[in-house]
Amino acid sequence: MITISDYTRNGSFSVNYLVDPMYITKECNSEIIVGRNAMFGTMLFVDNEIQISTLDYDKYHDKMMQLANPKDDEDILVIGDGDGGFTQYASRGSQIEYVEQSKKIMKIGETYFGALWNYVKKVNVMPIQDFVPTKKYDVILLAITDDFNRTPLVNWIKTFISWLNPGGRLVSQVGCLLDYTYDEIKSIYDGLDMFSKKEYDTDYYLSFLSHHTFFKGVL
């Protein structure tokens, strides 16, 4: 058993997870750990930050799909989500394409979280900076790390909007309410003026010991 100390939340406390390691590897100078916790199930960590657990796996992905509310024939682009949680919707008929840069995380998703990559229409294995879309999408799901939200987010949102059809929806994870960067990131989403409609939804994720906020923008 090992103890993984997640990042300090709001400068007040850290979260310690006791896990039985199942797989440990490195990629691009980051340490990746898959471990089993008695309460939260199988957990994925990158550089000691929790990414997902089997306890909250379906709940997290269901929340974003509920916000997007895609029709069966609509084209969905998923950016990130290397653990493959949205592939379950592809197996039920949703038209899903992925952009994910890590084959290693994708394999972890398949091995430990049941990702169904064979049902996805197309997987573009590359950094998002290298992706050039060949069509427009009805839904874009940003299932990316908090580090992405610390980049020039507004510029990226403008780029993603250019990939959407009229009436298209962009759904994104804003972040964990206890993260010290949450207020800054939330203010960026508050200031986005390129959508005809915006809304937020918040839900509690036990394995993160915190609420998470999600954003939906409609063109």
Where is the domain boundary, 36, 53, 70? 53
Residues 76 and 8 in one domain: no
Query: pTM surpassing 0.85?
Result: yes
Residues 35 and 48 in one domain: yes
The Cα–Cα gap between 19 and 124 comes to: 32
- Report the CATH number that the domain containing residue 200 is assigned in CATH: 3.40.50.150
Helices (H) and strands (E) in the chain, counts: 5, 12
Q: Where are the alpha helices (DSSP H) in the chain?
A: 57-68, 87-90, 103-112, 153-161, 182-190
Q: By the 8 A CB rule, do 23 and 34 touch?
A: yes
Query: Using 50, 70 and 90 to split pLDDT, how confident is the model at 210?
Result: confident
**25-43 pLDDT tens trace:** 999 888 999 999 999 999 9
Residues 69 and 176 in one domain: yes
Q: What pLDDT, on a 0 to 100 scale, did the predictor assign at position 31?
A: 94
Residues 169 and 108 in one domain: yes
The predicted model gives 154-158 an average pLDDT of: 85
Tally the domains of the chain. Answer: 2
Residues 68 and 160 in one domain: yes
Q: By the 8 A CB rule, do 135 and 97 touch?
A: no
- Report the CATH number that the domain containing residue 32 is assigned in CATH: 2.30.140.10
**Cβ contacts of residue 180 below 8 Å, gap of 6+?**
8, 9, 10, 11
Decide if pLDDT at 10 tops 70.
no
Q: What are phi and psi of 39, to 5 degrees?
A: -95, -40
Q: What pLDDT, on a 0 to 100 scale, did the predictor assign at position 18?
A: 95
Containing structural domain, residue 33: 2-53
